[in-house]
Amino acid sequence: MSEEELKPIPLDNLPPLTFVAAGESADEQEANLQSVTPSPGYPHLVFLLADAITKRSDLILMDFTQQQCAVRYQVDGTWYTMPPLQRNIGDFMLASMKQMAGLDFMERRARQVGKFSAEYLRSKHKCTLTCQGVESGERVAIEISRKRPPTENLEEIGMRSGMRTQLVDILNEQGGMVLFSALPGDGLSTTWKAALQSTDRFMRDFMVLEDKQKAEVEIENVEPVLFDSSKGETLGSVMPSVLLREPNVVCIAQMTSAPILNQMIDLTNNSELTTVSRLHAKHAVEAVMRALMLKPDREGFARALRAVTGQRLVRMLCTNCRQPYQPSPKLLAQLGLPASRVPVLYRHFQPSAEEITDANGQPIEMEPCEVCGGPGYYERTGIYELLVVDERFRQAMLDPQPTVQKLAQAAAQSGHISLRDEGIVMVAQGKLSLEELQRVLKK
């Protein structure tokens, strides 16, 4: 993960943040809070939480060593290094937090987890404090809950309109296999849920088969069928009972082995069911390659496969502070963008040397952007690709020695727009910086 510097915070007047401590009753909560307000760590804690909430961080990490306390914020999935705290100030802050969370503040080795809340600018944030002694000292994580609008459909998660229509049409066809792919941590389960919710699940019978140990949020009108891997149950254990119920669509949460893939191929080709599953891969073509490497019935697979998605989560440029620049003709040519139609691209805000130093070379305090709080990015979205399997791609899947390159070439010849090219469109639209696109494509 990339690490970038944010500006330090000044320690003058206290921001209007109030804590609600843990406790069985309001009196106990108040007593727990009163016990920490006189602490020299308390004002620093108010600054830390107010600053992290302003910068939209959902996780603060504090690493205590002999000398100091290193602080990092996670914002939109990226780590930002903050100025380190003096060790004694960090100790006071941590003791205060532990007391507010109802934990033993003297304990610095054992793992402890507790909760408190912070109210700031009319919004309430639940904070989960996790402390654990480590070899170098103590590691502390503060998870900050942020109320986000639920991402329920494909539009909200950022899939472009033409792709949404095409994907939903394919999912609504009877028969055919659809695979969803992403790297771990790139929002696969959100896309899965959004896609299934966009289908005609009120008209056809959907079933989701998943391991009880990894079961996710239920989807309305999609019946979950759970098997318990901790009891030695597998997908095969529940399949006979699933088939007795004659579903139209069988969704398998994890496509991890040849038997599962062969089962899907059989259901698709011989029972004319729609089958849907997901797997980890860098992009759609790689997902197909990974499935081929499981050595399934290859002809059956090529016949069954209808479409494959790929995706990456990206940080969107803050529209309040993004900086336009004129791309060079060479850059535009590399990106395959017509110079006449893309006069400017945007990058995230980076102050120039003149903006942050005065005539004497002294640093000037700059007000951070009021929308994003300074990093230049605001919220995340996805880049998506949809590979629709046609006869040319099917033939490439039947190649005796398939490779990602050969498959990608066939896909491109059939007009498939790759994840990279979908990302470049978003760069041209000013939603995404080229740096951010390059960062996520390197994964």
The residues binding Zn ion (CB under 5 A) are: 318, 320-321, 369, 371-372
Q: Which is nearer to Zn ion, 171 or 317 (CB)?
A: 317
> Residue 278: CB partners within 8 Å, gap ≥ 6?
179, 180, 181, 182, 188, 192, 253, 254, 255
Q: Is 190 helix (H, G, I), strand (E, B) or coil?
A: helix
Residue at token pair 């590979």: 387
- Tell me the C-alpha distance between 142 and 10, whole Å: 21
Q: Closer to Zn ion at the Cβ: 2 or 340?
A: 2
**Token digits of residue 47:** 């600054």
Please identify, using beta-carbon distances, which residue of 53 and 318 lies nearer to Zn ion. 318
Query: Shortest Cβ distance from residue 325 to Zn ion (Å)?
Result: 16
d(CA 243, CA 229): 20
Q: At what angle do helices 26-34 and 87-100 cross, to 10 degrees?
A: 170
User: Which CB, 163 or 369, lies closer to Zn ion?
Assistant: 369
The least CB distance from residue 321 to Zn ion, in Å, is 3
Kindly state the smallest distance separating residue 185's Cβ from Zn ion, in Å: 24
Select 78 or 234, whichever has its Cβ closest to Zn ion. Answer: 78
H helix runs in 295-433, sequence order:
298-304, 329-335, 353-356, 391-397, 404-413, 419-428
From the CB of 315, what's the least distance to Zn ion, in Å?
11
CB of 351 to Zn ion, least distance (A): 12
Using CA atoms, how far apart are residues 436 and 432, in angstroms rounded to an integer?
7
Instruction: Confirm if 431 and 424 have CB atoms less than 8 A apart.
Output: no
Least CB distance to Zn ion at residue 6 (A): 12
Residue 219 vs residues 61, 192, 195, 326: alpha-carbon distances, Å: 33, 10, 11, 46
Closer of 176 and 373 to Zn ion (Cβ): 373
Least gap, CB of 151 to Zn ion (angstroms) = 22
- Pick between residue 229 and residue 320 the one whose CB is nearest to Zn ion: 320
Identify whether the C-beta of residue 48 lies closer than 8 Å to the C-beta of residue 57: no
